[in-house]
């Protein structure tokens, strides 16, 4: 009869960790970032043959070399952070809103539209309030549509929100063609360039002062909302287990729709900040893939908006640095996407070592609990 071979333990065994101390977890993450920087450095060296140390000098120079560069870094980090803050409640609820790209664009388009049409009709502060409110509403609408279908018919939200991005992109293309300036350029140009109507005013003598204030306020607000509000509590419960949520008497449909309304609205507001406070124009690149990058920001920060500040800065810092290197060596700035990718891959991979332990065959679970 069948004689089954001797039972053997597998070579590697993966065991879920019970708990890991916070310092240890952050050490692992830090190691991952360092490792990714080494790999990125190697990549840049391979392409440019630049001394690796000088690579990092150049990166730093690109991000903070001048006061202007510093502010551009801060400005871009703020936009990325704002989107991440918008995504946090949705992802905390385990609702895969990968439609931030579209929600930003819709908010941006409507802002640009109002800026063009009513720039001279309303004083700038009033205009800003109107634009902010309408962009909130539009982003909210863009987020609520997939949420309603998810809540009532369990329509796959990942794919739905993804498609909504492209509907928004085409709408933007339509508006760009509609508002073309000058004719034939296929761009909108800088809106109200002469007058500055509807632009963010300088705050504390800084062009991007208002951006920083707005986004940091949102970040703090979202932190409180998620951690200390009743609605934030409901989001956590729904995200953990819908059964438990029902047991606790939480209306899961209502929470789903409400949370996506908030998520979409903040992403729409990010579009407003980008158009009124940064670029003063609109194009299909206004979101520029940041709706996707922000997902990763939110995910890596475990939806803690304060940690997102750090991650946003890290990513934008490296991107700016990469752009600097690219321009020094007459390469294009897509190098920054490569570096972003490498860093994210490493951080994603490192989560495994935070959640699991790998045990080699023959070794007992010595460092068990």
Partner 1 sequence: MEQTFAIQMKDITKRFGKVVANDHVSLDIKRGEILSLLGENGSGKTTLMNMLAGIYFPDEGQILVNGVPVTIASPKDAFDCGIGMVHQHFKLVDVFTAAENIILGLDSRQKLDLKAVAAKIEDICGRYGFVIDPYKKVYNMSVSEKQTVEIVKVLYRGADILILDEPTAVLTPQETDRLFAVMRNMKADGKAMVIITHKLHEVMDVSDRVAVLRKGQYIGDVATADTDPQKLTDMMVGHAVTLNIERPLVETRNLRLEVEDLTVLTPDGIKALDSVSFQAFGGEILGIAGISGSGQKELLEAIAGLQPTQPGSHVIYHPPAPDEPIAGQHVPVDRGGEELLGKTPRQIHDIGVSMAFVPEDRLGMGLVGTMGMADNMMLKTYRSGKGPLLDRKPPRQLAEKVKQELDVLTPSINTPVRRLSGGNVQKVLVGREIAQEPSVLMTAYAVRGLDINTSYTIYNLLTAEKLKGVAVIYAGEDLDVLLELCDRILVLCGGQVSGILDARTATKEEVGLLMTKFKKEGAQA
Partner 2 sequence: MSDLVVRLLQSSVCFGTVIMYGAIGEILTERAGNLNLGVPGIMYLGGISGLAASFFYESSTADPNGLVCLVISLLAAFLASALGGLLYSFLTITLRANQNVTGLTLTIFGGGIANFFGGSLTSLAGGVGQISVAATSAVYRTTIPGLSGLGIVGKLFFNYGFMVYLAIVLAIVMHWFLNRTRRGLDLRAVGEDPATADAAGINVARNKYLATCIGAGISGLGGLYYTMDYIKGTWANDGTIESLGWLAVALVIFATWRSINAIWGSYLFGFLFWVYLIIPGLARKDIELFKMLPYLVTIAVLVITSLRKKREDQPPASLGLAYFREER
Residue 59 token pair = 């990166």
Contacts with partner 2 by CB under 8 A: the residue count is 55
Three-state SS at 308: helix
- Residue 285's SS3 state is coil
Q: Is 365 in the site for partner 1 (CB under 8 A)?
A: no
CB of 255 to partner 2, least distance (A): 20
Give the binding range for partner 2 (CB under 8 A) out of 105-113, 218-226, 274-282, 327-335: 327-335
SS3 call for 358:
strand
155 binds partner 2 (CB under 8 A): yes
CA atoms of 79 and 98, how far apart (whole Å): 17
Query: Cα–Cα distance between 73 and 242 in angstroms, integer?
Result: 40
Binding flag, residue 16, partner 2 (CB under 8 A)? yes
Q: Look at residue 345 and give the partner it binds from partner 2, partner 1, none, a contact being a CB closer than 5 to 8 Å depending on partner kind.
A: partner 2
Give the closest residue to 283 by CA, choosing from 179, 160, 369, 360. 179
Query: Which of these ranges, 9-17, 27-35, 195-203, 222-230, lies near partner 2 under the rule CB under 8 A?
Result: 9-17
Q: HSE-up of 86 (CA within 13 Å, CB side)? A: 38
Binding piece for partner 1, criterion CB under 8 A, among 33-41, 172-180, 183-191, 227-235: 227-235
Residue 328 interacts with partner 1 (CB under 8 A): yes or no: no
Any contact of residue 355 with partner 1 (CB under 8 A)? no
Provide the Cα torsion 64, 310, 101, 241; round to 10°.
180
Instruction: Round to whole Å and give the CA distance between 194 and 26.
Output: 49
Q: Which residues contact 248 (CB under 8 A, 6 or more apart)?
A: 237
Taking a C-beta distance cutoff of 8 angstroms, is the pair 234, 250 a contact? yes
Least Cβ distance, residue 325 to partner 2 (angstroms):
11
- Given 352, 361, 363, 365, the residue binding partner 2 (CB under 8 A): 352
Residue from the set 15, 129, 220, 224 that interacts with partner 1 by CB under 8 A: 224
- Quick one: 6 or 332, whose CB is closer to partner 1? 6
Least distance to partner 1 from the beta carbon of 31, Å? Answer: 24
Among 132, 147, 339, 359, binds partner 2 (CB under 8 A): 339
Q: Residue 203: which H helix or E strand, with range?
A: none
247, 334, 345, 352: which one contacts partner 1 (CB under 8 A)? 247
> In this structure, are residues 96 and 76 in contact, taking their beta carbons and an 8 Å threshold?
no
164 contact choice in partner 2, partner 1, none (CB below 5 to 8 Å, kind-dependent): partner 2
Q: In the structure encoding, which two tokens stand for residue 102, read together? A: 């579209």
With beta carbons less than 8 A apart as the criterion, state whether 283 and 172 touch.
Answer: yes
Per CB under 8 A, the segment of 77-85, 127-135, 259-267, 285-293 that binds partner 2 is 285-293
Task: Note whether 321 and 93 are within 8 A (CB).
Answer: no
Residue-level length of the chain? 369
- Give the residue, chosen from 348, 361, 363, 365, that forms a contact with partner 2 under the rule CB under 8 A: 348
CA 72/CA 96 separation, integer angstroms: 30
DSSP string, 189-201: --TTTTT-TTPPP
- What does 237 bind: partner 2, partner 1, none (CB cut-off 5 to 8 Å by kind)? partner 1
Q: Tell me which residues touch partner 2 (CB under 8 A).
A: 14-16, 47, 96, 98, 149, 153-156, 158-160, 162-167, 169-171, 173-178, 289, 292-293, 295-296, 299, 330-332, 334-342, 344-345, 348-349, 351-352, 355-356
Residue ranges that bind partner 1, judged by CB under 8 A: 1-7, 18-19, 224, 228-234, 236-237, 240-241, 243-244, 246-249
């Amino acid at each position: 009869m069948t004689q089954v071979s001797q039972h053997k333990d597998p070579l590697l065994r993966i065991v879920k960790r019970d708990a890991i101390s916070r310092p240890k977890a952050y050490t692992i993450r830090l190691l991952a970032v360092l490792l990714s920087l080494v790999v990125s450095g190697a990549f840049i060296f391979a392409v440019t043959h630049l001394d690796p140390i000088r690579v990092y000098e150049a990166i730093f120079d690109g991000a903070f070399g001048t006061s202007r560069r510093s502010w551009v870094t801060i400005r871009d980090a703020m936009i990325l952070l704002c989107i991440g803050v918008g995504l946090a409640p949705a992802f905390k609820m385990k609702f895969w809103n990968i439609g931030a790209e579209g929600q930003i664009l819709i908010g941006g388009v409507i802002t640009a539209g109002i800026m063009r049409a009513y720039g001279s009709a309303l004083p700038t502060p009033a205009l800003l309030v109107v634009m902010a409110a309408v962009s909130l509403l539009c982003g909210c609408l863009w987020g609520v549509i997939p949420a309603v279908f998810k809540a009532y018919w369990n329509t796959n939200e990942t794919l739905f929100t993804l498609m909504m991005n492209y509907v928004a992109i085409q709408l933007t293309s339509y508006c760009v063609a509609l508002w073309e300036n000058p004719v034939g350029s296929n761009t909108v140009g800088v809106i109200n360039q002469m007058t500055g109507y509807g632009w963010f005013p300088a705050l504390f003598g800084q062009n991007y002062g208002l951006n920083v204030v707005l986004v940091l306020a949102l970040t703090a607000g979202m932190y409180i909302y998620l951690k200390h509000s009743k609605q934030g509590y409901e989001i956590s419960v729904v995200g953990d287990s819908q059964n438990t949520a029902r047991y606790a008497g939480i209306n899961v449909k209502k929470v789903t729709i409400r949370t996506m309304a908030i998520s979409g609205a903040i992403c729409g507001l990010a579009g407003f900040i980008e158009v009124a406070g940064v670029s003063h124009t609109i194009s299909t690149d206004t979101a520029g893939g940041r709706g996707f990058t922000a997902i990763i920001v939110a995910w890596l920060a475990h939806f803690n908006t304060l940690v997102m500040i750090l991650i946003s800065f890290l990513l934008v810092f490296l991107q700016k640095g990469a752009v600097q290197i690219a321009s020094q060596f007459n390469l294009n700035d897509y190098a920054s996407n490569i570096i972003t990718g490498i860093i994210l891959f490493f951080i994603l991979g490192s989560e495994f070592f935070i959640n699991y332990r790998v045990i080699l065959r023959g070794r007992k679970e010595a460092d068990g609990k």
